[in-house]
């Protein structure tokens, strides 16, 4: 019996040591190479796309820049891997990328079966439909018999099937693996309807030959909570990614922005002092400097700043905050307390 107990204790100790070793694996590897490898889309305006100078921009891109700022005090210490919907999960599972920040929907199956940990919801979305205005369609319930362009390997494809089945409608799926292929097919008139996340439709509409000739229908047929994900098995890395997200939101809640950061550093407000590293060891507890959030806000801004410049009022997309407003403004964004 003693031998069994000693063996169990030794086994538990080995597991504990193994967990501690694994917990720092990604952060150590990222520091050793000097950058974060971030998986993004192959091109979606407002979320992850290259500008005319070849620089990556977007809400998903800025999340990775925020992580780089927190770790390296340098938002440019990140490299981007453009991935199709089919490629994205394998790239994360295999270690090809350190974090996936690619307009990806958080679902139960992905959370439980793919070995991923979703960090949080950086954009609350829902699947919609876009059609040529000349079809004179004002509801998705009028789309029976239509041909529908959709990207394979996505929840979009599954939601499409469910929606038409639930409403006893028929449709002809026109399926492509790459987003650019779907865009080109719809733009060329190879299908009557384009379906994807509503935010994506607004972005894609701007890339069409004649954007004003297309309308996004009002229905949202699904819940699409979009957010970054990391591999399971590294609690420290998961914690860093999670608190970068919460830090962005919490900074906005506290009124801390890139414009007033220096002033806020002198604040005597206890919540502000803890958030900005004036009190406590919250950064050190996750393996970072205590001013990790200062670095994020200085280089990237708070969540509201990231939202507005990429997809909101200061962007061509002009998407309203809606569900992505702070909870104090009727939205769902809620930063966990730093204390």
Contact (CB, 8 A) for 195 and 160: yes
Can you give the pLDDT at residue 179?
85
pLDDT higher than threshold 90 for residue 149: yes
What CATH number was assigned to the domain covering residues 20-124+226-329?
Answer: 3.40.190.10
Q: What is the DSSP string of 254-292?
A: TT--TTTHHHHTT---HHHHHHTTSSS-TTGGGTS-TTH
127-222 has the same fold as 20-124+226-329: yes
CATH class of 127-222: alpha beta
Provide the H-helix boundaries in 130-234: 155-166, 179-187, 198-205
DSSP letter, residue 327: G
Confidence of residue 24 (pLDDT cuts 50, 70, 90): low
- Sketch the domain layout of the chain as residue ranges: 20-124+226-329, 127-222
Confidence of residue 17 (pLDDT cuts 50, 70, 90): very low
Of the candidates 55, 22, 41, 37, the residue with the CA atom closest to the CA atom of residue 99: 37
- Distance, in Å, from the CA atom of 18 to the CA atom of 314, rounded to the nearest integer, reads 47
Confidence of residue 20 (pLDDT cuts 50, 70, 90): very low
Both structure tokens of 38: 């971030």
pLDDT higher than threshold 50 for residue 133: yes
- Distance, in Å, from the CA atom of 323 to the CA atom of 305, rounded to the nearest integer, reads 16
């Amino acid at each position: 019996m003693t031998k069994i107990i000693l063996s169990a204790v030794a086994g538990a100790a080995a597991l504990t040591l193994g967990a501690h070793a694994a917990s720092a694996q990604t952060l150590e590897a990222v520091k050793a190479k000097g950058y974060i490898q971030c998986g993004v889309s192959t091109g979606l305006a407002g979320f992850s796309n290259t500008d005319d100078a070849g620089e990556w921009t977007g809400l998903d891109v800025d999340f990775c820049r925020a992580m780089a700022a927190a770790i390296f005090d340098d938002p440019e210490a990140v490299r981007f891997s453009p991935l199709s919907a089919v490629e994205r999960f394998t790239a994360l599972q295999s270690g090809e990328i350190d974090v996936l920040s690619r307009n990806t929907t958080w679902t139960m199956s992905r959370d439980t079966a793919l070995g991923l940990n979703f960090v949080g919801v950086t954009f609350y979305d829902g699947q919609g439909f876009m059609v040529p205005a000349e079809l004179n369609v004002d509801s998705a319930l009028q789309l029976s018999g239509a041909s529908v362009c959709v990207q394979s390997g996505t929840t979009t494809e599954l939601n499409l099937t469910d929606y038409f089945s639930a409403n006893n409608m028929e449709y002809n799926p026109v399926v492509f693996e790459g987003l650019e292929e779907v865009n080109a097919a719809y733009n060329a008139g190879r299908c009557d309807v384009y379906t994807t996340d509503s935010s994506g439709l607004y972005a894609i509409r701007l890339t069409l030959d004649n954007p004003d000739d297309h309308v996004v229908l009002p229905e949202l047929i699904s819940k699409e909570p979009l957010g970054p994900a990391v591999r399971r098995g590294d609690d420290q890395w998961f914690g860093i990614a999670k608190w970068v997200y919460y830090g962005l939101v919490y900074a906005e809640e506290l009124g801390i922005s890139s414009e007033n950061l220096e002033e806020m550093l002198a604040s005597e407000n206890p919540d502000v002092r803890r958030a900005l590293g004036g009190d406590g060891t919250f950064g050190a507890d996750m393996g970072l400097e205590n001013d990790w959030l200062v670095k994020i806000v200085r280089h990237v801004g708070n969540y509201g700043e990231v939202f507005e410049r990429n997809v909101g009022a200061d962007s061509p997309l002009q998407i309203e905050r809606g569900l992505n407003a702070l909870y104090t403004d009727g939205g769902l964004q809620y930063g966990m307390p730093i204390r």
